[in-house]
Amino acid sequence: MDNSYMENELQKIVVRRLDELGLGPVEAATKAGLERTYIRDIVQGKKLSVRTDKLESLARALQLDAADLSHSKSTAVDSTVRNVTVKGFVQAGHWAETWEWGDDDVYSVPVPNDPALRPFMLHAAETRGPSMDKRYPERTVLVFTDVVETGASLDLGKRYIVERERADGLREATVKTLWRDEGGKVWLLPESNDPRFQEPIPIEGGEDDTVRVVGRVVYAVSRE
């Protein structure tokens, strides 16, 4: 790489790590869920600073601790937003081995950097189909926490990412509202205009499938 690009501390770190890892800037950015040109712009001197919502992704691309970059004098201090990588989709009725995408399809969305959520990882998936269309238009991005990581109890009226697995190993990922009927039984409720997706799912699963609550939805982001 041309040393003329290495005019600031951030560039030096990025160029050195790319050389050490044997990665090109576009390849590294894609693997980390950043825009394809993000790291290349740093290398070429077009981007002189990194917002804090991008730090984690950039550090992952370079296989560094985010603290190594946050101490850089070139790093901008902006803690108002947080970047989350969208890694898959949720769609009721779609059964497959996985609901996660390959690396080429992931993208990132910004969300507010809520102090209460900073200790936890944030995950994101895109909605497909009409099973929750009363609440979320198709291709809404749902940002969620992992219920195992947070250790939080399930709250009635909140919406959760749910995974169902059949005996054949195929899985369905969907989003449902936690709801209790008059008899006190807890269900996972669709909010759909489509008659095919209006039956609630028992939270304990059924004879033919296992139900697992994956995460609680904390943000919904609509793509323009």
How high is the pLDDT of residue 162? 96
The C-alpha atoms of residue 74 and residue 150 are separated, in whole angstroms, by 33
Give, for all 224 residues of the chain, the pLDDT tens digit: 333 333 477 888 888 888 788 888 888 888 888 888 888 888 887 777 777 777 888 888 888 877 666 655 444 434 577 878 898 999 999 999 989 888 778 888 888 888 898 888 899 999 999 999 999 999 999 999 999 999 999 999 999 999 999 999 999 999 999 999 999 999 999 999 999 999 999 998 888 889 999 999 999 998 65
Q: For the chain, what are the domain ranges? A: 3-70, 81-222
How high is the pLDDT of residue 60? 84
Q: Is 176 helix (H, G, I), strand (E, B) or coil?
A: strand
pTM of the model: 0.66
193 DSSP 8-state letter = S
- Which of 112-151 are b and which e, b meaning 16 or more Cβ less than 10 Å from the residue's Cβ? ebeeebeebebbbbbbbbbbbbebbeeebbbbbbebeeee
* Cβ contact 148:129 at 8 Å: no
Selection from 156, 161, 208, 219 nearest residue 187 by Cα: 156
Both tokens assigned to 27: 């390849």
The C-alpha atoms of residue 218 and residue 101 are separated, in whole angstroms, by 21
Residue 190's contacts (CB-CB under 8 Å, 6 or more residues apart) are 92, 131, 132, 176, 177, 197, 198, 199, 200
* CATH H-level superfamily of 81-222: Umud Fragment, subunit A (2.10.109.10)
Q: Which residue has the tokens 């950039």?
A: 58
How high is the pLDDT of residue 74? 44
Query: Is 60 buried (19+), middle (13-18) or exposed (0-12) by CB count in 10 A?
Result: middle
User: How many CB atoms sit inside 10 A of residue 171's CB?
Assistant: 18
Fold of 3-70: 434 Repressor (Amino-terminal Domain) (1.10.260)
How high is the pLDDT of residue 130? 93
How high is the pLDDT of residue 207? 80
Q: Which residue has the tokens 């890892």?
A: 21
The C-alpha atoms of residue 84 and residue 122 are separated, in whole angstroms, by 6
